Structure 1
Amino acid sequence: MALVMVTGAASGLGYNTAHALSDAGHDVVVHVRNESRLSEPGRWKGVVIGDLARVVEIHDVARQVSAFGHFDSVIHNAGVMSSPEVITVNVLAPYLLTALMDKPARLIYLSSSMHRGGSTDLRRLSQGTGSYSDSKLWITTLALALASRWPGTSSHAVDPGWVPTRMGGAGAPDDLTAGHETQVWLATHDGVNPSSGGYWHHRQTQAPHPACQDEDFRAQLIKTLESRTGVPLD
C-alpha cells in the first residue's frame, strides 16, 4: 500500500487517477482548489485545499501536506490551458511543491505532446508570459532534470494523451481510461524501466523535445525558477 498525493483531483484526469489509486487499496491524499469541489471526502486519507494560481496558497498547500509525513508518490496533475495563470499553475506550483515538500520516493509530472511546440526562451517564464505549450516544455524539462538529482527519488513526465475531459473537450480522440493509467502505474509499480527520467505515453517511453535532455537548458530552467519564486531547489 502506497501513500500518494494527487494535485488537481476534483475532476478530470486527477479525479480518475485518485479514484483508481483508492480502488487499488492505496492511501490517497487529494488536493482540490476549494471545498466546494471536493466529492466523497470520506474516501481519502486526507484532503489539502488551495488555489494553485496563487503563490501564497501554494505555500500553504505545502504546509498542509507536511502533516501526512513521507509520501511514496506525488502526482503533479493540476493544470490549466487557457488562463492568465497558466505559468503559475502549470510550472510554478509543481516547482514550489517539489522544493517545499519532503522528497517522496516518486515524482510524476503531467506533460503534453504540445510541449514539443514550446519555447526555450526562459524570459517568458521570468515575465509570466508563456503559453500552455511553453509551460509543458518547462515542466517536462524539470521532471527529467530531477531524475538524477536526489538519491532515492525517481522522476518522470507523462503525456496522458488528448482525452475527453473538460480541458480536452468532448471530441478528444484518445481513450479517457488510458489517460490516467500510466500515472497510477508509475506511482505504484516496481518494475518501471527506466526507473527514472522517462517521458511516457500509455506506458511507453517516447523522445521528448531535445531541450528537455539538454543539461545547460535544464540548469538555466532551474536557475530561472529559483529566481522567479525565491525558493531554491536543494
Structure 2
Amino acid sequence: MATAPQRTALITGANRGIGLAVCRQLAAQGVDVVLTARDLPRGRQAAATLADAGLSVRVERLDVTEADSVTACAARLADDGVGVDILVNNAGTYPTAPFFSVPEETMRQTLDVHLMGAFRTCQAFVPGMVERGWGRVVNVSSTGGAMTRSTPGPAAYGIAKAALNALTLVVDAAVPPSVQVNAVCPGWVRTRMGGAQAPLSAEAGADTVTWLALSSEPGAGGGFYRERRLIPW
C-alpha cells in the first residue's frame, strides 16, 4: 500500500490563539509545521509550548505586511528544500472603530494585514503547490465580511475580510483542482482578539481550518466554511 506523502504547512500569525492551535492540531496529525510570527522570540516561545507536548515545529519570522519578509522566508525554506503544501493565512487585526471614526492609516493597515498579507503569501507559496500537483490554502476570515450579511463587522475589519473572501475566490479560480483555496469563519473564539467572553476555545476555532488543510475531497475549493459546513459569502 502506498505511503501518504509528507506534507508541510505554514501558518501565519501562529504564536498564539487560533494560529497556534492550528499548528498544534496539524503537528499532532504528523504534518511538518512551519510556525511563523512577526516577532521571532514570541514565535520561539510558542514553539516551546508545543515542544512540551512532544510536538516539534520549525519557527520562522514572517511579517505579512512586509513583502521582503515574505520573500525572505520563502527563500530560506526553498534553500533548505522545504516546499509549502498547506498555507494558512491566519495573521489578523481587529480594529473596532465605526466607519466615520476610522483613520485612513488604520484602514490601510487593516487591508495590508488581511488582504495584502494573504496576497503576498499566496504569490510566494501557491505556485509551488501548482508545480508539485497538490496544495491547500485556508484563509481565516469572518462572517463579519460576508456580503450576504451586508458586512456587519466593525468597518475596517469587515471591509478587509470581504476583500479576503474575494481574494479566496480569485486565487482558487487561478489554480487547478489539485490546489484548493477556501475561507473559514472560525466563530467567536476566546483569544486576545475575541476576548474572554467568547464561547469557543482556540482549538474549536481551529478545527475547520485544520479539516480543510487536510482535505482529501477532490475539487472542494472556492468555499466559505464554518463548523465544517459551507456558508454564504
For 1:49, the aligned partner's letter is: R
CA distance in structure 2 between the aligned counterparts of 1:55 and 1:89, rounded to whole angstroms: 11
| 2:204 corresponds to | 178
Quick one: distance in 1 between partners of 2:226 and 2:186? 6
- Please report the TM-score for the alignment, with normalisation by the length of structure 2: 0.76
TM-score (norm 1): 0.76
Asked if structure 2 preserves the Cα contact closer than 8 Å seen for 1:77 and 1:109, the reply is yes
Q: Distance in 1 between the 2:61 and 2:212 partners? A: 25
Q: CA deviation at 1:61?
A: 2.9
Output the CA distance in 2 between the equivalents of 1:158 and 1:48.
24
User: C-alpha displacement at 1:45, in angstroms?
Assistant: 4.3
1:108 to 128, 132, 138: 138
Deviation at 1:196, TM superposition (A): 0.9
Map residues 53-202 of structure 1 onto 2, 5 A cutoff.
Answer: 53-67=65-79, 68-82=81-95, 84=106, 85-101=109-125, 102-104=127-129, 105-116=135-146, 117-118=150-151, 131-151=156-176, 152-191=178-217, 195-202=220-227
Deviation (angstroms), 1:171: 0.8
1:108 positional shift: 0.8
Residues 108 and 155, structure 1, Cα contact 8 Å, conserved in 2: yes
d(CA) in 2 for partners of 1:34 and 1:115? Answer: 27
1:26-37 aligned at under 5 Å gives the runs 26-37=31-42
Distance 1:181 1:34 in 2: 25
Q: Distance in 1 between matches of 2:62 and 2:213?
A: 23
User: Per-residue deviation at 1:170?
Assistant: 0.7
Over 6 Å off, 4+ runs? none
Task: Give the Cα–Cα distance (whole angstroms) in 2 for the partners of residues 88 and 4 of structure 1.
Answer: 22
Give 1:195 shift: 1.1
Distance 1:80 1:44 in 2: 27
Structure 1: which amino acid aligns with 2:189? Answer: V
Equivalent-residue separation in structure 2 for 1:56 and 1:142 (angstroms): 21
Q: Kindly state the Cα deviation for residue 30 of structure 1 after the two structures are TM-superposed.
A: 1.0
Q: Which is further off, 80-89 or 132-141?
A: 80-89
Unaligned runs of 5+ residues in structure 1 are: 120-129, 209-234
Quote the sequence identity (%): 26
Deviation of 1:79 after TM superposition, in Å, equals 0.8
* Partners of 1:9 and 1:163 in 2: CA distance: 15
User: Is the Cα contact below 8 Å between 1:30 and 1:44 reproduced in 2?
Assistant: no
Stretch deviating more after TM superposition (10-19 or 67-76): 67-76
RMSD: 2.2
Q: Unaligned stretches of 5+ in structure 2?
A: 1-5, 96-104, 130-134
